[in-house]
Structure formats: structure tokens, C-alpha cells
């Protein structure tokens, strides 16, 4: 059995392999040679020489048998199932995430850029396992059916809003090229994905800046223009009016400066909304820094800042400067709009998952008038104010909580607001165990 097995593994290009392929022909030649010797009295030397010549010819010249043809066909199908080295090298050179799938939608190759963005993927899985955008999968089916390349765009809302563009193109191996519209499916389909989020956010930033700035700056600009005209006209020589108007003009100019600073800050944060923070920070240190910065303001307003924080620290994944901005905005709002209660409490507590899992809550509670329930869902909208006059009197821009919301979105954190009129309000930030891309 061992000899027969070894004989069956001889390659068809070797003499023994050719003899194996021609074994039935050799057997027939042997039967004919024995018959000629036995029944027709052909000399044994002649019959043996003839048989040896046939064997020599069979070993020397290959035969294109059915098995060999099947082997060639199988090799061709394998080449059409898995992309060659040249295609892989070309796809790896592309800077954008790229997938190579066959005509049935099975992933055959994934370049390095795609692995960085989408994590560990396995060739051989359906393309839908990696790319779950319905519009992209529909475009893939259309390209397989029509043989015509397509370019599509789509938007994803989770975990943050992002825009993508994909180019889907059929690839036909040599010998299978065909005209568009025929029934033959492509051997491969190339899917190249580009992240358009940064460009779209830049466009939105410019649009929002113009719209918001024109709306919010109109009032202080009108005031400045009116006072300048008055000082140039009726109050030109009025020293008392000039001093009063200049003070108001300075206040309005400061308001415009704060508006522009907050709008630019919000725009910068939006540009980084899809970038995952990578550093580690201590929430206790963040709260301590923000409390020290706003303690003079609290003393001036007659408000006491109390803290309730762990002594061992609270480490989370985040960017320190942005989280300090979150803490300062929340504490400043509590001082401005809840300072009538006389104190503000800052807290850092472990969530149900426990401190060991890195799950922490940051809370800022005031004991002021509170916020009516109908206003709570809209507090983080741009320029939304519960009381516009009170906000302007406190030198608020209406952008503080919008900035907080966008920073927390980047950190995959969640802001929860609870308030009872007459009892104050509590702003709680729930930080996750681990930030995912």
C-alpha cells in the first residue's frame, strides 16, 4: 500500500508520472503483445522490443489526460478566488482602507490601512461582517450585476457622526474580461473607503460660524454703532455721557470677544470629535484644578465650594485640558445660576462597575432655584438659554454646555441633568470603562 501511495504522488512531469497517466494504454499494449506472441507466433524478442518501445514512448511524451485538464482548471479557479501577489502589493500601497472581495461578497484580502481602522479582520468572511453600511452593500451587489464601477457616500451616527465615501469597482482577471451588462460576475470587487468626516466638519464649522456669529453679534454691534454715532453727534462734548457710553461699549466688546472665543473653541472640539483620546488623567486632579481656578469667583459671589472625592484618585482615559474645560464650565454655571443656594458640591464617585474597572462619575450640584423640566432636554443646544436676560447679565454666551456636550461625546461619556425647581440642579458625567474607537 505504501508503494502504491508513493507511486500515486509522482508529478505528471516525471517519467513515472507519465507512465501512471498512461497505465491503461501500457496495459493494453501488454495484452496485445502477449496475444501476438501466443497466437501468431511472433518471436518473443520482437514482441518484447515492441512493448518496450511503447513503454519508452509513454514515459517520454506526456499525455493531456482528463485529470490534468481538471488540475489546470482548478488552478485557474484558485487564481480567480484569491488575489495574486501583484494585486495585494498594489492594494497595500493605497493609503485608504481597501477590501478585495470575490463576486459572491466573500472577503479575499484586506490592506493594512483597513486593519488599522476596522481592527482584526479575517479573509474568508462575508464582506458584510466588516462593512455594515446598507447603502455600500447594495452598491456592491449592483457592481457585481452590472460590471460598472460606482462611487457612493453615506453617514454613520454612532458612536459619533461621521461621513464616508466609497469607490466600488469590478476586477476581471485575464481571459474573463467582458462588456458591461453581460451575465458574467466579476472575479473580484475592489472597495476603497475614504473618511470624509474632517472635510465635512470643516465645512460645517465655516457655515455654523457665519450663521451663529451673525446672529449673536448683531446686538452688540448695533449697540456699538449707536453709541459711536451718539458720541460723534449729540454727546460729543458731554463728558459724563461719554464715560458712561464708553463703559457700555467696553462691555459689549467683551461680550463679542467671549462669543468669538467660544465659537472657535467649539469648532476646534468638533474637528476632533472622531479622534479617540489616548492619555490617562485623574478626575480628582481635574476637579481640584478647576476648583482652585474658580475659587476667587465663588468667594466674590459668597458661595462655598465643597468637595466629596476619593483619596486614592480616579483614573480615566481622556485629554486633560478638555476635561478641565468641562469641569470649569459646569462649576461656573453652578456658581452663576445656582449660587443663590450658598454652596456648590463637587463629587467624584465610582459607578456600579466599581473603581477597579475605571468607571467613574463626576457630579456638580448647586442648591439654587433649579431648572424647569421642560428646559432640561435643550440645555446643551447652542445659544439656548433658560432666561436670556439672566444669561446676558451673567456674561454667558449660551455655548458653555454645548462645548461640554461635544467634549464628552469625544470621550464617549454621557451627561445627565437632574433638577427640581426650588432645590437646585445636579449635572453628572458618566465616564465609560474604556473608550473604543
Residue ending a domain, among 176, 195, 214, is 195
Domain housing 409: 276-437
Q: Residue 104 belongs to a domain with what CATH number?
A: 3.30.450.20
Round to whole Å and give the CA distance between 227 and 245.
6
Question: Is the predicted pLDDT of residue 172 greater than 80, yes or no?
Answer: yes
Residue ending a domain, among 223, 253, 271, is 271
Q: Is 27 exposed, middle or buried (0-12, 13-18, 19+ CB in 10 A)?
A: exposed
Claim to verify: residue 158 and residue 113 sit in the same structural domain: yes
Say what the pTM is.
0.51
Look up residue 371 and give its three cell numbers.
431648572
**In this structure, what are the phi and psi dihedrals at residue 120, rounded to the nearest 5 degrees?**
-75, 115
Q: Are 189 and 102 in contact (CB under 8 A)?
A: yes
Q: Which residues contact 187 (CB under 8 A, 6 or more apart)?
A: 80, 102, 103, 171, 172, 173, 176
Q: Is 215 exposed, middle or buried (0-12, 13-18, 19+ CB in 10 A)?
A: exposed
Helix spans in 151-308 (H): 197-216, 218-232, 239-271, 283-301
Average of per-residue pLDDT values in the chain: 79
Round to whole Å and give the CA distance between 330 and 360.
17
Claim to verify: residue 366 and residue 422 sit in the same structural domain: yes
Q: Residue 213 belongs to a domain with what CATH number?
A: 1.10.287.130
pLDDT on residue 236: 81
Whether the bond into 159 is cis, omega within 30 of 0: yes
- Which of 4-13, 28-37, 51-60, 61-70 has the weakest average pLDDT? 4-13
- Tell me the percentage of the chain whose pLDDT exceeds 90: 18
Look up residue 176 and give its three cell numbers.
474573463
Q: pLDDT by residue (tens digit) across 295-342? A: 988 998 899 999 888 888 888 888 999 999 999 999 988 988 888 888
Amino acid at each position: 500500500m505504501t508503494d502504491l501511495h508513493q507511486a500515486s504522488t509522482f508529478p505528471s512531469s516525471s517519467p513515472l508520472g507519465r507512465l501512471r497517466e498512461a497505465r491503461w494504454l501500457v496495459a493494453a499494449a501488454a495484452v496485445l503483445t502477449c496475444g501476438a506472441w501466443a497466437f501468431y507466433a511472433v518471436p518473443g524478442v520482437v514482441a518484447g522490443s515492441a512493448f518496450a518501445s511503447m513503454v519508452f514512448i509513454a514515459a517520454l511524451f506526456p499525455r493531456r489526460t482528463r485529470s490534468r485538464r481538471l488540475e489546470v482548471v482548478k488552478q485557474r479557479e484558485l487564481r480567480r478566488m484569491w488575489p495574486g501577489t501583484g494585486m495585494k502589493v498594489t492594494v497595500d500601497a493605497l493609503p485608504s482602507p481597501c477590501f478585495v472581495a470575490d463576486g459572491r461578497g466573500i472577503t479575499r484580502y484586506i490592506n493594512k490601512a483597513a486593519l488599522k481602522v476596522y481592527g482584526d479582520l479575517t479573509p474568508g468572511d462575508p464582506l458584510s461582517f466588516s462593512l455594515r453600511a446598507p447603502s455600500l452593500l447594495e452598491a456592491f451587489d449592483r457592481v457585481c450585476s452590472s460590471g460598472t464601477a460606482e462611487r457612493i457616500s453615506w453617514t454613520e451616527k454612532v458612536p459619533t457622526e461621521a461621513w464616508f465615501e466609497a469607490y466600488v469597482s469590478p476586477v476581471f482577471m485575464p481571459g474573463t474580461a467582458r462588456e458591461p451588462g453581460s451575465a458574467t460576475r466579476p472575479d473580484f470587487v475592489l472597495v476603497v473607503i475614504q473618511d470624509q468626516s474632517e472635510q465635512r466638519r470643516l465645512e460645517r464649522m465655516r457655515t455654523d460660524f457665519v450663521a451663529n456669529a451673525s446672529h449673536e453679534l448683531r446686538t452688540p454691534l448695533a449697540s456699538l454703532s449707536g453709541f459711536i454715532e451718539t458720541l460723534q453727534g449729540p454727546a460729543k462734548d458731554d463728558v459724563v455721557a461719554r464715560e458712561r457710553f464708553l463703559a457700555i461699549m467696553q462691555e459689549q466688546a467683551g461680550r463679542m470677544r467671549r462669543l468669538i472665543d467660544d465659537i472657535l473653541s467649539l469648532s476646534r472640539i468638533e474637528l476632533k470629535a472622531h479622534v479617540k483620546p489616548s492619555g490617562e488623567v485623574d478626575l480628582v486632579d481635574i476637579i481640584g484644578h478647576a476648583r482652585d481656578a474658580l475659587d476667587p469667583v465663588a468667594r466674590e459671589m459668597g458661595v462655598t465650594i465643597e468637595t466629596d472625592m476619593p483619596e486614592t484618585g480616579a483614573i480615566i482615559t481622556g485629554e486633560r485640558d478638555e476635561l478641565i474645560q468641562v469641569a470649569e464650565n459646569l462649576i461656573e454655571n453652578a456658581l452663576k445660576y445656582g449660587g443663590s443656594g450658598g454652596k456648590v458640591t463637587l463629587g467624584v464617585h465610582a459607578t456600579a462597575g466599581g473603581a477597579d474597572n475605571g468607571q467613574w462619575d463626576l457630579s456638580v450640584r448647586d442648591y439654587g432655584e433649579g431648572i424647569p423640566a421642560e428646559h432640561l432636554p435643550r440645555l446643551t443646544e447652542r445659544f439656548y438659554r433658560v432666561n436670556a436676560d439672566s444669561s446676558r447679565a451673567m456674561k454667558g454666551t449660551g455655548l458653555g454646555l454645548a462645548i461640554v456636550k461635544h467634549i464628552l461625546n469625544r470621550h464617549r461619556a454621557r451627561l445627565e441633568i437632574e433638577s427640581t425647581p426650588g432645590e437646585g440642579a445636579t449635572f453628572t458625567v458618566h465616564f465609560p470603562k474604556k473608550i473604543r474607537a
